[in-house]
Structure 1
Amino acid sequence: MAAISNSNTDFACKLFHTLSHADPSGNIFVSPLSISSALAMVYLGAKGDTATQMAKALSFSSRSGVHADFETLNADINSPSASYILKLANRLYGENTANFLPKKEINTWVEQQTENKIKDLLKPGTVSTMTRLVLVNAIYFKGNWMDPFDPADTKEMSFETYKDGKKRVQMMYQIGEFPYKYIPEIGLQILELPYVGELSMFILLPEKTENGPDPLLMLEKKLTRANLEEWTKRGNMYNHKVHVHLPKFKLEKNYKLNDPLAKLGMTYVFWSGKADLSGMKGDKTLFLSTVAHKAFVEVNEVGTEAAAATEESDDDMGFIDPIPQVAHFTADHPFLFFIRHDKTKSILFLGRFSSP
């Protein structure tokens, strides 16, 4: 279990870096877990250099046990006793002399899996007579804050973007005891907002600077699994009384992931004549034509609703703060955030909020 969680976190950071490089200042929101779990199905049938490239891109340390680990992870996260709603589902549509289900039927399945939050994943022209493999994946999450915000405390405030100046947002507010960490060496505040259940949102807020390099981009350069683990482990975050200002926000992002995945070294699986998915069909005619990812998130006073779809053509929180103090966490400028399953340390969603 630890191995697959580590792989997912490594992949999440690597994928984020490629998306950030392509769009240094825009909003980003993806579900690394849903992407890697979907691609793991293709990896099952990959051989030779295709399998080697996929393993490197997805940070799989060993071929054996990958799929059993994903099944265990999925069962753990989707526990029937969970107080949140989280659904992760994959379907692989293989060619039968290129006869695929109609695009409408595939889109309908995705909509059903994401509570109608992800619509029209497959665009016109995605599935054609040249298509040989379609992998459809959907993930949906809805959770309530353990300590919800009072809507009466939500006020209009300014949010300072690094590119477009100040914009007005609906800023939520509360004061409470939350796991919190400040790292003065890099000017970083980290706040954990737990959901009811075994999930938490972590918000990474760099300090604002009047001059010098973009503090968010400087933070992103330090975004690695080792740093995330060190920054957010239980022994390094303590319960503080925190004044929390967090904007309400809603993001919906569409990505064609062929190029980002290729930049991670996963190229052959997209090439007709190079892809070796013979473990699925017995020959080398199968290949992925497109990896499309669509993700949605809404954060409000009650909690978070998030969804994503991909198509590929006992740690206690009773911390003791050695130096009690009141912290002010004011997210009125760009920040990073991720939603993590506490027990397995798996990152379900990862994003950058840089502009309302």
Structure 2
Amino acid sequence: MKRLLISGIGILVLALILAGLAVCGTAPLNTTSVSGESVADDSVAAGNNRFAVDLYRHLAAEPAHAGDNLFFSPYSITSALAITCEGARGTTADEIRSVLHLPENKTLRRAGFAWLDAGLNRGSANYTLRTANALWAEETYSFLPDYTGIAERWYGANVTNFDFINDPEGSRETINRWVEEQTEDKIRDLLPADSIDDLTRLVITNAIYFKGTWVKQFDPAETTEEAFRIAQDETVQVQMMHRTDEDAIYGYTETGTLQVLRMPYAHGNGTELSMLVLLPKEDNLTAAEEVLDVGTLTGIRDSLTDRRVRVVFPKFTLETEYSLPQALAAMGMPTAFTDAANFSGMDGTDMLFISDVVHKAFVDVNEEGTEAAAATAVIIAGGGAVGPETAPVFRADHPFIFLITEKDSGAILFMGRVVNPEGT
């Protein structure tokens, strides 16, 4: 029998972000080479985007998050759980793949993640963007070389052995320091006290970090304190940035209920990233949430045209944290958290299960640009446990949804909503 561990571990999430990544070399953007074959990565990026929308809808519908800001990195969560899925079998694997919308074809799945990770980490002089994976294993526990080899080859996740049994707190602190280093100290204490214990067998982590400047930066001298409507009869005073000059050229479109703005980041020869903002014309955020469908978002993105826009946009900083077992179980993968879990692909036994999935995220948006970071940990336990020609005005002075996107693939890296810029 297995004992299910329930930890109150939060996950700090980073914003709604669409991002897709290119790789070095001459291969086409939508393919990567595997054993001499050209393999499309689209299903991994598309699956990541579908999971992003599903998770956003689930978190937004939870009473505990009513009226709250949301921010997370779907790519971070998907990456950590994809590595976990490599060791799952049977119903456990089927459920994880279904929730994450992962390809069943293992070559396509692995090559897709390798391609995306290579693009994230290829570097640019104009921005910082990187992601990293790691495995942290109990030193006395035997994991199958096939599993650890797959994690290292396809996901870049090397194994570090720890004494979880006799030194759980020391192990936890070391993992947290790794996360802090990978995220420039923006994600601290991903694993809280007592989240590692003598039943912990493996911790799978992902960290992602981005810092970029706007192509069209805002002048701090133009930033003023103004009202932001958080409800029909309630406002808060926030710092609003202004870009209304003749050079304020942005990708823009609108529908009967929505304004959409794309604000690009400087990229040089690197991956093209931008923030996509969905602003309701009225104060009802539902107008933006109704278009959170992968096909609809793609259509909206394709309809953007460059034009002058008078932009008024709030400065904001969000820090979020979530513990995801209940959400993920409700979304369709309950077995992984129970004694019926099958992670025999990790160790050859049926004794392992997921005790927690924790995520933390951070985003800061200002006149210069954006800094965002997120990290995810999957804790595996085992052992006996249970318009017109005039320039439109884009005044984001009421709740909106935002994404950070990559021009070509459109894979979602970060995603969120701003209900109150003065909140956390």
Normalised TM-score (structure 1): 0.91
* Equivalent residue for 1:117, pick from 164, 171, 186: 186
Supply the distance in 1 between the matched residues of 2:308 and 2:49 (Cα, whole angstroms): 29
Aligned to 1:350: 415
| Residue correspondence of structure 1 range 1-356 to structure 2 within 5 A | 1-22=41-62, 23-64=65-106, 65-81=108-124, 83-97=126-140, 99-100=163-164, 102-162=171-231, 165-175=234-244, 176-184=248-256, 187-197=257-267, 198-209=272-283, 215-233=284-302, 236-271=303-338, 273-313=339-379, 324-355=389-420, 356=422
Supply the distance in 2 between the matched residues of 1:56 and 1:95 (Cα, whole angstroms): 29
Uncovered stretches (5+) of structure 1, i.e. residues with no partner: 210-214, 314-321
Supply the distance in 2 between the matched residues of 1:221 and 1:131 (Cα, whole angstroms): 41
1:68 offset after TM fit, Å? 1.4
Residue 295 of structure 2 aligns to a residue whose secondary structure is helix
Greater RCO (Cα-Cα under 8 Å, separation 6 or more): 2
1:97 offset after TM fit, Å? 4.1
Task: Kindly indicate whether the alpha-carbon contact (under 8 Å) linking 2:250 and 2:308 is maintained by their aligned counterparts in 1.
Answer: yes
Residue 102 of structure 1 aligns to a residue whose secondary structure is helix
Task: Kindly indicate whether the alpha-carbon contact (under 8 Å) linking 1:240 and 1:327 is maintained by their aligned counterparts in 2.
Answer: no
Aligned to 1:317: none
Calculate percent identity across the aligned residue pairs.
42
Task: Kindly indicate whether the alpha-carbon contact (under 8 Å) linking 1:46 and 1:279 is maintained by their aligned counterparts in 2.
Answer: yes
1:323 offset after TM fit, Å? 6.4
Residue 288 of structure 1 aligns to a residue whose secondary structure is strand
- Amino acid of the residue matched to residue 3 of structure 1? S
- Amino acid of the residue matched to residue 176 of structure 2? N
Task: Kindly indicate whether the alpha-carbon contact (under 8 Å) linking 1:240 and 1:324 is maintained by their aligned counterparts in 2.
Answer: no
CA separation of 1:82 and 1:285: change in aligned 2, threshold 3 A: farther
Task: Kindly indicate whether the alpha-carbon contact (under 8 Å) linking 2:187 and 2:374 is maintained by their aligned counterparts in 1.
Answer: yes
- Amino acid of the residue matched to residue 37 of structure 1? S
CA shift digits 1:259-316 (9 cap, x unpaired): 1111111111112x21111111111122211111000000000000000011111xxx
Task: Kindly indicate whether the alpha-carbon contact (under 8 Å) linking 1:134 and 1:288 is maintained by their aligned counterparts in 2.
Answer: no
Task: Kindly indicate whether the alpha-carbon contact (under 8 Å) linking 2:132 and 2:208 is maintained by their aligned counterparts in 1.
Answer: yes
Supply the distance in 1 between the matched residues of 2:329 and 2:52 (Cα, whole angstroms): 15
Residue 189 of structure 2 aligns to a residue whose secondary structure is coil
Task: Kindly indicate whether the alpha-carbon contact (under 8 Å) linking 2:71 and 2:319 is maintained by their aligned counterparts in 1.
Answer: yes
1:192 offset after TM fit, Å? 0.1
1:82 offset after TM fit, Å? 5.8
1:343 offset after TM fit, Å? 2.3
CA shift digits 1:92-139 (9 cap, x unpaired): 223344733611101000000000111111101100112233112111
Uncovered stretches (5+) of structure 2, i.e. residues with no partner: 1-40, 142-162, 165-169, 380-386
Task: Kindly indicate whether the alpha-carbon contact (under 8 Å) linking 2:258 and 2:287 is maintained by their aligned counterparts in 1.
Answer: no
Task: Kindly indicate whether the alpha-carbon contact (under 8 Å) linking 1:133 and 1:289 is maintained by their aligned counterparts in 2.
Answer: no
Aligned to 1:318: none
Identify which range, 289-298 or 156-165, moves more after superposition: 156-165
Task: Kindly indicate whether the alpha-carbon contact (under 8 Å) linking 1:181 and 1:191 is maintained by their aligned counterparts in 2.
Answer: yes
- Amino acid of the residue matched to residue 4 of structure 1? V
Residue 38 of structure 1 aligns to a residue whose secondary structure is helix
CA shift digits 1:16-43 (9 cap, x unpaired): 0111011232100000011101111011
1:208 offset after TM fit, Å? 1.9
Over aligned residue pairs, what C-alpha RMSD do you find?
1.6
- Amino acid of the residue matched to residue 49 of structure 1? T
Supply the distance in 1 between the matched residues of 2:218 and 2:91 (Cα, whole angstroms): 51
Q: Matched residue pairs, number?
A: 338
